[in-house]
Every structure is written in structure tokens, then in C-alpha cells.
Amino acid sequence: MIGLIGKKVGMTRVFNNKGLAIPVTVIELGPNQIMDLRTVERNGYVATCLGFGQRRDKLVRKPQQGHYKKLGLMAPKVEQEVREMLLDGARIGDSLKCDLFKPGDQVHVTGTSKGRGFAGVIKRHRFNTQTATHGTHEFFRHGGAIGAHTFPGRVWPGLKMPGQMGNETVTVRNLTVVRIDTDANLIMVKGAVPGPNKGLVLVRK
């Protein structure tokens, strides 16, 4: 598996050879720095630890400063490991760019969805509103009855009810890479990806 950490730039559209408009999401993918290499002998599993961006010095704690200084690296803004990723000849400190991907690749994009706060069932679960006439007065956006019959005499776990909406990890699978700009470290994937603009995402092949 190959993965890189990036930042969502926004959405736009591109045109293919037939003149059809394709909606794409632009992602600033990399450069990522290899912070550590996990091996079966040392860690019990295989993974590559990647760093994206650069953290200000005053935000780095002294134990971390010593750790990164020992490795000869700058403290990244974001650090995350990608399981089952081990590139041939890769070393700690190497820089990885978006040229690991190519147009036509299928990728999974993981990000944190936009937080909507506490939401009712109409917005959160797309329930229909109750009728606005014929005797309905106080309750127009309620979820209706939530109980069962005498048996089981309780509310079933997992019932769709009001609550926190969004702000959770979401993975959109099998998006197609449309274009790549290696000079600007940009990658364009067909469709939408979770999160707001400037939100962090993980793109995996």
C-alpha cells in the first residue's frame, strides 16, 4: 500500500478529451518526509511514519526537539503512519511527493468530516417533516414514536435520534486520479472528499 498526507484545497472541474466536465477535488499532496520505518523485527509490523508540514519551534516540546534533532529532521505539523507501506530503498529523512501516484489510479481518501454540532433527525438522518396541517401543531420536526410494544418495552439500541452530527473520520473509497501536477504537488481526484478546505486528508492507493 502507498499513502501520503495532504491538504484539501477545494473543488473545481476539468474537461476530458471528449469535452465532458469532470468534478474534481484538488489536494495538495506532499511533500511528505519519512520520520520512521516500522519493521517486523523491531516493531512487529510493517509501516512507514510520514510527516507533513512544519511545526513552529515554540510548539515543539523539549523531549520531541531532542528526538527530531537526533534524527536530523524538523518537527512536522502532522505525523501519521501508513500500515503495510515499505518502499524499496526508503530511508529516514527521504522526501516523498505526489509522483507516487499517476492518472487512472484508484485511491481511498480519509479525512474528518465537517462538524455540524447537535442536529435533529430532519437534518441528521433526513427524516420527512410531519404534515403542516390536519391537526399537527407543536411537533413538526420530531422523529415520532421511539418506543416499541409491550415487548420489548424499551428503545432499541442504535435508533436514529437527534445527536452530534459530523466531525468524525470518513473514508471515501475508489476515487479516480484525474490529473497530477508534480511541480505544485497537486493531485486531482474525481468526486468529493470529506472535510473542509485546508483540512488534512490521507490518500492511499
**What pLDDT, in 10s, does the model give residues 38-57?**
999 999 999 999 999 999 98
Q: What is the pLDDT of residues 79-127, one digit of tens each?
A: 999 999 888 888 898 999 999 999 999 999 999 999 999 999 999 999 9
Residue whose entry in the numeric block shows the C-alpha cell 509501516 = 47
Number of domains in the chain: 1
Residue 205 lies in a domain: no
Give the phi and the psi of residue 52 in degrees, each rounded to 5.
Answer: -130, 135
Distance of CA 62 to the CA centre of its chain: 30
> What pTM did the predictor assign?
0.85
Residue 128 is given by DSSP the state P
Residue 152 lies in a domain: yes
Residue 200 lies in a domain: no
Residue 184 lies in a domain: no
* Domain containing residue 142: 116-165
